[in-house]
Amino acid sequence: MQVCSRDLTTSRLVRKTLQAPTLPEDSHPIMANHISLQDKFFPIRTTLHSCIQLPETNGNNFELKSQIINTLPKFHGMESEDVYFFIRKFEEVCLLMIIPQLGEDAVRL
């Protein structure tokens, strides 16, 4: 590899050829720090699991109607939005969903 540097005595640019460092035969410079793309883009999860536990449904299936889900209020976290108004509207819509196998808290989850 060639590198240019200025000679202090003549103030001219001088080319110098540098020798590449020698590596052992079994090591490869690209593979020296091998981290897979999966490890880079999907790191190992180190956080604790959520404390929310879904209730048992006794094997009964239920369906949440899309019409009711679409009536849920939207909250984007902007300063102009009122958090308490959102929670009140959310609870009103959840009270409309009466599912015999689930309680009120499970519907809110």
- Domain residue spans of the chain: 66-108
Neighbours of 21 (CB within 10 A): 6
Stated pTM of the model: 0.45
Q: In terms of DSSP H, where are the helices of 1-109?
A: 37-41, 66-70, 83-96, 104-108
Structure-token pair, residue 87: 């929670």
Encode pLDDT of 62-92 as tens digits: 777 788 788 888 888 888 889 999 999 999 8
Residue carrying the six token digits 């308490």: 84
Q: What is the pLDDT of residues 40-50, one digit of tens each?
A: 777 666 667 77
Q: How far apart are CA 102 and CA 96, in angstroms?
A: 13
